Amino acid sequence: MQELAGKHIVLGLTGGIACYKSAELCRLLVKAGATVQVVMTEAAAQFITPVTMQALSGRRVYTSQWDAREPNGMPHINLSREADAIVLAPASADFIARLVQGRSDELLSLMCLARPMERVPLLIAPAMNREMWSHPATQRNLRQLDADGARVLGVGNGWQACGETGDGRMLEAVQLFEDIVAQFQPKVLAGERIVVTAGPTFEALDPIRGITNHSSGKMGFAIARAAREAGAEVTLVAGPVHLPTPRNVRRVDVVSAADMLQATVLACEDASVFVATAAVADWRPAAHSEHKIKKDGGGKAPSLQFVENEDILLTVAKGARAQGGQLFCVGFAAESENLVEHAKAKRARKGIPLLVGNIGPLTFGQDDNSLLLVDADGVRELPRAPKLTLARELVAEIAARLPSRSRR
């Protein structure tokens, strides 16, 4: 996906061992279609060479305000005017303090000060020792940067090059990349609270075996990410899947349909949108064996009885908040045939404003999908595309249908 096609990113490197992560970040940005102009401080060049960053970006690196390539002698003006965003990764404690003070005696800080603030966002990825990170001066400086309009992306926790462990590590390249992509997404759900369910459920027969389905959770995770990119506060209730949590999304892991129901109802208490993407098991074993069910040696299979699970979407949709118009419910239908017919019937049965249908065998485990939107006005197809692309389209559809948005 060329998620950053047409975007021009100025990637600023300050002094710190985390510069090695900046190389991977540069590669990800270029791969996503962005042009990347690297600007390095003198200290950054002690940790990674300009030649390395030039090779990855395909552009010569700037290190000096007095760079002879600029006919007008003003690289701080030229570079900042060309940028769609300036990303500082890593941003050292010293450089953060310089930004707060408005100091600008070298190219990178001068460029940050000279940028047109109304159209060129400044994204800051701090990197420093845990004691430096927790120091009151650093935290005070970070609050000031936020007040001044910069966006501080946070830090990771773990082992540091100094041998200590704690907060202060620069975020990983893929995390920073996700934040940069999110920066350019329309904030159509700003102020909303979204609950998304994703993945399968697992209904245990005994401590070893159980009943589940082929859902990978990828569509639900993509929707959670897209909703967060759109400015929403997102809670993701996830069945047993092995997927990384989208950036800045609150994740609640569950196993069974009963677990998912409990977590979802609780999360929806203060939500404005509920998207039921999970492939929830319709039935569960009537009894759970304390020990593994063994073969009897006679070739006779055990007799199993099942009971119906409570319908999560129906339960939430029939709740007081949904009935009062405070909660907008979106359902998903994974079918194997007659998609339009089954999707229309399911929407009517659940009593929800929007239902999204797909053919399960064509989407489970895949990175692409196609969706069918079913509402009171009829049916519309979203053609096959990457799931994140479809998730962003669906988020836009949801935003346009929210009563709170239509009145604005």
pLDDT tens, 143-181? 999 999 999 999 999 999 999 999 999 999 999 999 999
Q: Which residue has the tokens 């990855």?
A: 56
For the CA atoms of 284, 285, 286, 291, the dihedral, rounded to the nearest 10 degrees, stands at -140
Report strand pairing: 354-359 vs 368-375: antiparallel
Report the C-alpha gap between 348 and 342 in whole angstroms.
Answer: 10
Please confirm whether the linkage preceding 90 is cis (ω < 30° from 0): yes
Position with higher pLDDT, 377 vs 363 = 377
**Which segment of 117-131, 160-174, 181-195, 333-347 scores lowest on mean pLDDT?**
333-347
d(CA 8, CA 11): 10
The H or E element that residue 393 is part of is helix 387-401
Domain boundaries, the chain: 8-183, 193-285+307-406
Superfamily of domain 193-285+307-406: CoaB-like (3.40.50.10300)
Confidence of residue 408 (pLDDT cuts 50, 70, 90): very low
Of the listed ranges 129-138, 180-189, 311-320, 335-344, the least confidently predicted one is 335-344
- Confidence at residue 360, expressed as pLDDT on a 0 to 100 scale: 61
Q: 337-373: per-residue pLDDT in tens?
A: 777 888 888 899 999 999 998 866 556 667 888 888 9
Token reading at 264: 């979802």
- Cβ(262)–Cβ(310) under 8 Å? no
SS3 383: strand
Record: fold of 8-183: Rossmann fold (3.40.50)
162 is catalytic: yes
110 vs 67, 74, 138, CA distance in Å? 14, 10, 21
Cβ atoms of 38 and 57 closer than 8 Å: yes
Lowest-confidence range among 24-38, 81-95, 202-216, 346-360? 346-360
Report how far apart the first and last C-alpha atoms of the chain are (Å, whole number).
33
Task: Return the amino acid letter for 57.
Answer: S
Please state, rounded to an integer, the average pLDDT across all residues of the chain: 92
Confidence of residue 336 (pLDDT cuts 50, 70, 90): low
- Of 174, 130, 132, nearest to 153 by C-alpha is 174
Considering the candidates 19, 112, 162, 268, report the single residue annotated as catalytic: 162
